[in-house]
Structure 1
Amino acid sequence: MNTNMPILAPSLLSANFAHFQEALTLVHQHQAPWLHFDVMDGQFVPAITFGSQVVASLRDKSETFFDVHLMTNTPERHFAAFAQAGANNITFHIEATHHAHALVQQIHTLGVKAGIALNPATPLSAIVELLPFVDLVLVMSVNPGAGGQSMIPSMLQKVKRLQQMKSHYNYPYHIQIDGGINESTIFAVKNAGIDVVVAGSAFFANPKLDLFLQRLRS
């Protein structure tokens, strides 16, 4: 197995909501190090998904790294609940706040890693000043709010630029990508220099799952 392979973070959004325990078993079976929780509030994006109770209900059943992605307005209202529920990382969107640095500090005060996410139309310049302080940068390669979309290939240029800055300044953040990652796009994503791959339908609803995992880990 390639020790430099990206971290796999299956997205619970694409699992069967009536069988989260079975989804967690699949995550363990395929040795995915992270589990990704897409939290939507019906305002920042149209859909509503789940809250901190889902994280709490799964926490004592797994030692997997729980990665919470808040697609919400006023994300700071939810930090404490998700930290208490057992989140290991909390990511919020730069588009959802005017006080991103303060929010990163707030998450760290809770003893949790902090990530910043940006939508496809948001330039990297919007987060450059945050890069020394965050643990993760999430590049959305689809428009947030729904699974099953096709990856926007130009987003890989953001990944490459983030990797260049990370190397040049010795920043510690992970670079994560979310949206349209499957067996057809994974090679291009890996070549861009990604650290963490969020996989939704490619993991939980993919008849070619074995092929996807083989290409991810080769």
Structure 2
Amino acid sequence: MARPIQIVPSVLPADFSKLGEEVAALEAAGVDLIQWDVMDGQFVPNLTFGPDVIKSARQHCTVPFEAHMMVYTPDVMAKDYIDAGCSRLIVHAEACTHLHRTLGNINELGGNAAVALNPATPASAIEHVLDLVDLVLVMTVNPGFGGQAYISTMEPKIAEVRKMLDESGRGDEIELEVDGGIGPNTIAGAAAAGANVLIAGSALYRDPEGLEHAVSDLRARAHAAIA
């Protein structure tokens, strides 16, 4: 049975001077959870959200938070982000010397562990850690910047990961997320390939009819693609 579609905003395009108001507005628009793009200036070029910033926004909404850890030291940082209110931490297979240990550490700290794959990383890189995660993220852009164009050639990889999850026996337990360039013209391809958690940033904020319309429109397009 297909996992429910979830529309999840990245807060990168939000107004950082009023993040409390921004996350409250996203919740009111009907998002399923909120993703924080955590960047360390090393694994990716930019610097973004520290745990104190996320903690200050946590009180302004009730939807779950997840942190997309685009960092080289997730083990060092994990506890702070879980304590800040992120129930799920997504780490990159490319950044972890001992991926199995890192995912296990997140779970032991009380978080939900998840793993991300950059566009050039094969799906096989995560084959032996699926017992430790509740979500796999297939990147459809190279991480580090918002507003990039969707890499449609990742759709066969999304389908490959979907098949891998189903064959693992945990297909009903593990979410399949896609992040990068998701908008009205690309969400159908990602959903049809097997993704059920769709991250949108720029597309949500540039909808002239507002956040609520953007969320409902993306959700409808995803559902239509898998109907």
Same fold by TM-score, threshold 0.5 exceeded? Answer: yes
Contact persistence 1:182–1:212 (CA under 8 A)? no
The normalised TM-score by structure 2 is: 0.90
Change in 2 beyond 3 A, CA 1:216/1:5 = farther
Distance 1:81 1:211 in 2: 32
Distance 2:154 2:74 in 1: 24
Distance 2:195 2:204 in 1: 18
Following superposition, the deviation at residue 99 of structure 1 comes to 0.5
Name the Cα RMSD after superposition: 1.6
Specify the code of the residue in structure 1 equivalent to 2:197.
V
1:62-105 Cα shifts (integer Å, max 9, x gaps): 22110100101111111010011111100111111120111111
* Match in the other structure for 1:45: 44
Distance 2:153 2:216 in 1: 23
**Is 16-25 or 103-112 further displaced after alignment?**
16-25
Q: How does 1:60-209 map to 2 (within 5 A)?
A: 60-171=59-170, 172-207=173-208
Contact persistence 2:204–2:214 (CA under 8 A)? no
Distance 1:201 1:111 in 2: 31
Following superposition, the deviation at residue 163 of structure 1 comes to 1.3
1:3-47 Cα shifts (integer Å, max 9, x gaps): 965211100111111121221122122111110000001100111
Specify the code of the residue in structure 1 equivalent to 2:219.
L
Structure 1, unmatched stretches of 5+, are none
How many matched pairs? Answer: 216
Structure 2, unmatched stretches of 5+, are none
Residue 214, structure 1, aligned to residue 213, structure 2 = no
- Helix, strand or coil: the match of 1:95? helix
Specify the code of the residue in structure 1 equivalent to 2:189.
A
Distance 2:206 2:40 in 1: 24
Distance 2:45 2:178 in 1: 21
Structure 1 runs of 4+ with >3 Å offset: none
1:191-214 Cα shifts (integer Å, max 9, x gaps): 111121111111123326525632
Change in 2 beyond 3 A, CA 1:5/1:215 = farther
**Percent identity at matched positions?**
38
Distance 2:51 2:214 in 1: 33
Distance 2:138 2:5 in 1: 15
- Helix, strand or coil: the match of 1:70? strand
* Match in the other structure for 1:11: 10
The normalised TM-score by structure 1 is: 0.93
Distance 2:137 2:25 in 1: 24
Distance 1:38 1:119 in 2: 14
Following superposition, the deviation at residue 61 of structure 1 comes to 2.1
